[in-house]
């Protein structure tokens, strides 16, 4: 019996290892080829580089104006996420502290809006924001607030329902107003949910392409995904630069993942299941 268990354990570990290597193989190919010269990629696609060089990285870094694209992506992601956390937790707090028909109706409305796919509003969104001269970064952040609201409100509302009202009432009697209670008592208690909201939205905005490609049309404001098209023009494809560019583009997310893995995986799973 025990022997059996040890054998099956070994088999599972072996199987997992083989699958993991298979899973990582595409990334391995990208990284090894990014260290080759343009000529070597044509003759030696699968092997290790004969004389590894970082020259591609230097060129790609400059070509995609990495520093600026990174800052652009960061600004949009950071401000959108902060604004979403504040606004949606406040909205969910209000809904949870005035239960009744009105709140149920509003909550149901939020749920219904989640069914609208982005394509159905893409065109009029451009005309609405264009007509008020908001096809810019602030406009983009407002769009993200609108698109992400429903989901984030759900997550916060689910947690808030579990927090007893007595908590607020004690402070109300002490003379605090609602905003102070929200800020100093409620919001800190929502921290685990806030992590989930941050993770799912930050990943979305950081990686988003379609919406920024429509809204941002100045080269200097391009985010990392928009900038990747530099390497993939109509006729020229310089794989050696493109591969280095791809590695540079993935690196920030992978580094963050290594440090915050537990939170990220938990955030994704809570966001999906609730």
What residues between 158 and 217 interact with another protein by CB under 8 A?
Answer: 165, 168-169, 172, 178-179, 182, 203, 206-210, 214
Which residues between 109 and 128 bind another protein (CB under 8 A)?
110, 113, 115-128
Which residues between 140 and 159 bind another protein (CB under 8 A)?
142-143, 145-147, 149-150, 153
The reply on whether position 253 binds another protein by CB under 8 A is: yes
- What is the torsion angle, in degrees rounded to the nearest 10, for the CA atoms of residue 206, residue 210, residue 212 and residue 215? -160
Look at residues 143, 167, 185, 154 and name the one whose alpha carbon lies nearest to residue 92: 154
Are 78 and 141 in contact, with CB atoms under 8 Å apart? Answer: no
The reply on whether position 261 binds another protein by CB under 8 A is: yes
Which residue lies nearer to another protein by CB, 63 or 87? 87
Among 38, 58, 98, 161, binds another protein (CB under 8 A): 98
Are 164 and 101 in contact, with CB atoms under 8 Å apart? Answer: no
Which residue lies nearer to another protein by CB, 67 or 229? 229
What mask of x and - would describe binding to another protein in positions 40 to 69, judged by CB under 8 A?
Answer: -x---xx-----------------------
Query: In the bound complex, what is the minimum distance in angstroms from residue 178's beta carbon to another protein?
Result: 5
DSSP for residue 219:
G
Distance CA 137, CA 146 (A): 14
CB atoms within 10 A of CB 242: 22
Q: How many residues does the chain have?
A: 274
Which residue lies nearer to another protein by CB, 58 or 237? 237
Distance CA 255, CA 274 (A): 27
Number of residues that bind another protein (CB under 8 A): 87
């Amino acid at each position: 019996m025990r022997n059996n268990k040890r054998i099956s354990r070994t088999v599972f570990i072996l199987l997992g290892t083989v699958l993991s290597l298979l899973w990582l193989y595409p990334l391995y190919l990208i990284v090894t080829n990014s260290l080759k010269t343009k000529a070597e990629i044509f003759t030696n696609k699968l092997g290790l580089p004969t004389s590894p060089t970082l020259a591609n990285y230097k060129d790609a870094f400059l070509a995609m104006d990495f520093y600026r694209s990174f800052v652009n992506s960061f600004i949009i992601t950071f401000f959108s996420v902060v604004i979403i956390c504040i606004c949606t937790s406040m909205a969910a707090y209000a809904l949870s502290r005035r239960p009744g028909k009105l709140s149920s109706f509003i909550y149901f409305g939020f749920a219904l809006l989640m069914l609208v796919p982005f394509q159905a509003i893409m065109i009029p969104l451009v005309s609405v924001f264009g007509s008020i001269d908001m096809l810019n970064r602030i406009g983009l952040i407002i769009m993200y607030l609108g698109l992400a609201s429903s989901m984030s409100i759900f997550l916060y509302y689910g947690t808030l329902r579990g927090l007893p009202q007595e908590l607020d009432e004690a402070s109300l009697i002490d003379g605090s107003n609602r905003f102070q209670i929200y800020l100093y008592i409620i919001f800190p208690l929502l921290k685990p949910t806030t992590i989930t909201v941050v993770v799912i939205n930050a990943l979305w905005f950081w990686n988003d392409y379609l919406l920024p490609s429509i809204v941002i049309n100045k080269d200097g404001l391009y985010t990392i995904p928009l900038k990747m098209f530099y390497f993939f023009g109509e006729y020229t494809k310089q794989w050696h630069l493109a591969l280095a560019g791809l590695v540079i583009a993935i690196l920030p997310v992978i580094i963050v993942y290594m440090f915050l893995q537990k939170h990220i995986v938990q955030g994704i799973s809570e966001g999906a299941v609730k």
